[in-house]
Chain A
Amino acid sequence: MSRALGPFAAVLGRDLLLAWRGRADVLVTLAFFVVVVCLFPFGVGAEPNQLRAIAPGVLWVAALLSTLLSLHRLFAQDHADGTLEQLLLTPEPTVLWVVAKISAHWIATGLPLVVVAPGLALLFDVEQGALGVLVLSLALGTPILALLGAVGAALTLGLRGGGMLLALLVLPLFVPVLIFGAGAVDAYLSGVGAQAHLLLLGGGLLATLALAPLACAAALRIAVE
């Protein structure tokens, strides 16, 4: 176990360090999220009831788009400079460092969204109790987006126009996450309780955590061949 932990920590640590050194990229993703969310009140008007109603959906769609914006970076640099080949040649299971890379990616791009989301939700006058549900749904949902997106990023690695293809490939897969994520807040507000939605998101997270890295590893092997 401790032997496997070494490479996992090495990849996680390196990718977090790289995210820190290239923090402009990370900030662009976050800024995109904030700007997209802030555009909606201008578009649909400042009627408080309407804003309250669309808030969960707007925040979730914006989170989904900004996740998409950063996905192509997940493996591209390592693919170009040969690091990916070296990682595939390590004796450790491929899944291990794939999970480390996705975790680092989520910490750098997904976690900031979860942190700023409640602040943005206040702009839409979302009530206090629902803020917790929103944060929880994003905390459970954005890792699913990162995991599913990683499979798409691995499949489109090195292709011309890969960015566009990536969007077409993964956006349909994001739909269930969007439905249950935004639905959780709506369910809380309507008094039904968000438990069912959040449990489904949690289950979805566990399932993708178990399956997506396997698919991702297989796709990466094909990509370097």
Chain B
Amino acid sequence: MLYANDLACVKGDRPLFRGLSLRVAPGDLLRVAGPNGYGKTSLLRILCGLAMPESGEILWNDVPINRDRESYHRSLLYLGHAPALNDLLSPLENLRFACSSGGDKVDEDACIDALVRIGLAQQLDLPARVLSQGQRRRVGLARLFLEADRKLWILDEPFTALDVAAVADLTSTLSEHCAAGGMVVLTTHQDAPFAKAPTVLDLAEVAC
């Protein structure tokens, strides 16, 4: 269970939000909403432990995340704005590296299946630099099919640059993950067709 208590975030000199608390229990899907510049990405980065909050604390299974970073990051999958793709490597090599550098066992066939499922069957061995924006996005998202045993998924704008079919497939994957006891925190400006309406956290309400 992810629990954040009384978070405050300051970007440069400008306070973004204050007094933000949230709780994500197994099975929850939390959508962070708010206009541009209200600190959605900053909040997600704070929740991951990539950035420090100005004040407040984040607990994973009742332990502060900076005290037990290892087990927190073992259960976390974060997909940010940047797709973490190297242009000189193929989608398959990129995906394999993303899994193996995280200490996960990588099964070559499972990687190929994930890429085929997300619609990159034709691009498996092409260098990533020839892929379109949407295709680059998909390589990152393919990890979702491989790392279901990571309980907490934090996704920053996962639907950007995806076509309708891909969005539908992704939402069903997210719903399945939640149904299996996983947790998802995401930001999006699009209305995605979720089976069960996500909880919404509106940053405009806690903005300074």
Q: Is the CB of A81 within 8 A of B71?
A: no
Task: A71 to B165: give the CA distance in the assembly, Å.
Answer: 44
- CB-contact partner of B103 in A18, A21, A78, A92, under 8 A: A92
Residue B56, interface by CB 8 Å: no
The DSSP consensus for interface residues of chain A is helix
A187: B residues at CB distance < 8 A: none
Q: Is the CB of B83 within 8 A of A82?
A: yes
Q: Is the CB of B88 within 8 A of A88?
A: no
The DSSP consensus for interface residues of chain B is loop
- CB-contact partner of B86 in A18, A88, A89, A90, under 8 A: A18
Stretch at the interface among B16-24, B44-52, B170-178, B183-191: B44-52
Measured as residues with beta carbon below 8 angstroms from the partner, the interface class of chain A is 20 to 34
Residue B36, interface by CB 8 Å: no
A:15-69 near B, CB below 8 Å: 17-18, 21-22
Residue A91, interface by CB 8 Å: yes
Residue B25, interface by CB 8 Å: no
B:70-112 near A, CB below 8 Å: 70-71, 73-74, 76, 78, 80-89, 93, 97-98, 100-103
Measured as residues with beta carbon below 8 angstroms from the partner, the interface class of chain B is 20 to 34
Q: Is the CB of B78 within 8 A of A3?
A: no
Residue A128, interface by CB 8 Å: no
Q: Is the CB of A77 within 8 A of B86?
A: yes
Task: A103 to B108: give the CA distance in the assembly, Å.
Answer: 26
Q: Which of B70, B76, B97 has the most CB of A within 10 A?
A: B97
Task: A18 to B78: give the CA distance in the assembly, Å.
Answer: 24
Residue A204, interface by CB 8 Å: no
Stretch at the interface among A6-14, A157-165, A188-196: A6-14
Residue A171, interface by CB 8 Å: no
The 7 closest A-B pairs by CB, nearest first: A82-B82, A10-B100, A82-B84, A91-B74, A91-B73, A21-B88, A90-B102
Residues of B within 8 A of A (CB): 48-52, 69-71, 73-74, 76, 78, 80-89, 93, 97-98, 100-103
